[in-house]
């Protein structure tokens, strides 16, 4: 288990940066997820996203690129709503991952299965959290229920890749500089 001061040191290490975008249909109270078909997180339902590449001009551009690559649709109003950091407490050499979370309410195109993801709409009250990353159940409500229009930031400590050990999560007015 990491001591509090070790957690703080780890959080400050250079991070590997990712995006994750949720397409939300508020009117019908549903969210578009994809079943990951390959690689890290295979078999889990997740939003659409991936690593920010050097060729991506901005993090938002990376999020839009990943959505198009993975679900064949173009988000029209994506907005960053949260930032979460994943720390691998039993892998000291592995950098923390910083994931920028985006929400989009409108899009163009027709979602299609790709080599990486199988998209499917889920009602807000039937999100398959038992087949998702263990952190998701904690922060998804903050993305789906945006009436308060607050953003959020959190840190989730994992061991053995998928076991969530503990976390902190808070709502914020604006996202911190990283």
Ligand X SMILES: Nc1ncnc2c1[nH]c(=O)n2[C@H]1C[C@H](O)[C@@H](COP(=O)(O)OP(=O)(O)OP(=O)(O)O)O1
Contacts with ligand X by CB under 6 A lie at 18-20, 39-41, 46, 49-51, 86, 99, 133, 135-136
At its nearest, how many Å lie between ligand X and the CB of residue 135? 5
Q: How far is the CB of 136 from ligand X (least distance, A)?
A: 6
Q: How far is CA 30 from CA 105, 120, 124, 127, in A?
A: 11, 10, 5, 9
Shortest CB 12 distance to ligand X, Å: 20
Which CB sits closer to ligand X, 30 or 100? 100
- Name the residue nearer to ligand X (CB basis): 122 or 133: 133
Least CB distance to ligand X at residue 74 (A): 17
User: Which residue, 86 or 152, is less far from ligand X as judged by CB?
Assistant: 86
Residue closer to ligand X (CB basis): 28 or 91: 91
Of residues 41 and 146, the one with the C-beta less far from ligand X: 41
CB atoms within 10 A of CB 103: 21
State the nearest-atom distance from the C-beta of 47 to ligand X, in Å: 7
Helix (H, G, I), strand (E, B) or coil at 65: helix
Q: What are the Cα distances from residue 20, in Å, to 1, 17, 93, 102, 114?
A: 28, 10, 24, 6, 17
Q: What is the CA radius of gyration of the chain?
A: 16
Which letter does DSSP use for residue 40 in this model? T
68 phi, psi to nearest 5 deg = -65, -45
């Amino acid at each position: 288990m990491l001591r509090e001061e070790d957690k703080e040191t780890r959080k400050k290490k250079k991070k590997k940066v990712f995006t994750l975008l949720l397409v939300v249909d508020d009117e019908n109270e549903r969210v578009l997820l994809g079943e990951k078909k390959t690689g890290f997180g295979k078999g889990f339902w997740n939003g659409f996203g991936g690593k920010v590449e050097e060729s991506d001009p901005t993090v938002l551009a990376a999020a839009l690129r990943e959505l198009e690559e993975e679900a064949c649709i173009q988000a029209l109003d994506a907005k960053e709503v949260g930032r979460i950091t994943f720390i691998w407490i039993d892998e000291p050499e592995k950098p923390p991952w910083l994931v920028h979370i985006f929400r989009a309410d409108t899009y163009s195109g027709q979602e299609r299965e790709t080599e990486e993801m199988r998209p499917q709409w889920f009602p807000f009250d039937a999100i398959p959290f038992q087949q998702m990353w263990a952190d998701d159940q904690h922060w998804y409500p903050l993305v789906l229920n945006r009436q308060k229009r607050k953003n959020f930031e959190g840190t989730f400590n994992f061991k053995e890749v998928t076991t969530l050990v503990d976390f902190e999560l808070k709502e914020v007015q604006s996202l911190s500089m990283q």
